[in-house]
Amino acid sequence: MILPNPPAAFIFDLDGTLADTEPAWIRAKSEVAEMEGAAVSEAVLSSFTGRRILDFLEEVLPSHAPDHRVDLVRKVARRARLYLPEITRPMPGAIPFVRHLQGQGVRLAVCSSSATDLIEQALGILGIADAFGPLVSGFGMPRSKPDPAPYLETLRHLDLSADQVIAFEDSPAGITSASAAGIATIGLGTHAKPMASSCVAVIADLSHAYDLIGAVKANNLNVATAPSTALR
């Protein structure tokens, strides 16, 4: 895949990419599932990283009526709202890298499975809400990550084609979604490593993104010639 040179925009996932919010979501989902009589393992919780709450509830509470699961989605979200201000922290390198791109005048967007108000809350806690244009939520979409629909909607908001942008994602569901939309995707962290074949590169965190993006701008690199220091 040829990377856009220069990229017209960067699209960021939120949870696990920009903000360390997953502990709040794990706590909220675990508590609600337990109230409904379901004990959920860490492995199951981890497998739903980057996906909708409803997807999680359909898996762990399959016998519940659909309307009841929708009510439980709201309950999980309410609990997460309570925990996020206390728990949310920036992912390593996230704030400086966002400010670096903002200073270069590059357009930035968020594509997340979280509800829009929770995206706004997290960006506000991090102090970088002013850096972003479109905030696209897959929360209420008929199909969310790993389906490409959220990323296709983000491209629509940006009025750009897939070959004009780069996405940053940390979860298998998010990487699948972005790559299925035709977007060159940079994976972040350990959860991204199994999805390396779907990424143009996998890096530890956004503090390692400067050299990779600089190399893209200089050479229009593809995955075969990307600098080895930027890869997993």
| Residue stretches of the chain with pLDDT short of 50 | 222-232
E strand or H helix that includes residue 111: strand 107-112
Distance of alpha carbon 6 from alpha carbon 14, whole angstroms: 23
Distance of alpha carbon 23 from alpha carbon 196, whole angstroms: 25
The CA-based dihedral angle spanning residues 58, 120, 134, 189, taken in that order and rounded to the nearest 10 degrees: -70
The CA-based dihedral angle spanning residues 219, 191, 22, 143, taken in that order and rounded to the nearest 10 degrees: 80
CB 76 within 8 A of CB 118: no
Distance of alpha carbon 111 from alpha carbon 137, whole angstroms: 6
| SS3 call for 112 | strand
Distance of alpha carbon 164 from alpha carbon 227, whole angstroms: 21
Predicted confidence at residue 218, as pLDDT, reads 61
C-alpha triplet 174, 179, 184: angle, nearest 5°: 110
Domains along the chain? 9-20+89-230 (3.40.50.1000), 22-87 (1.10.150)
Q: Is there a cis peptide before residue 142, judged by omega within 30 degrees of 0? A: no
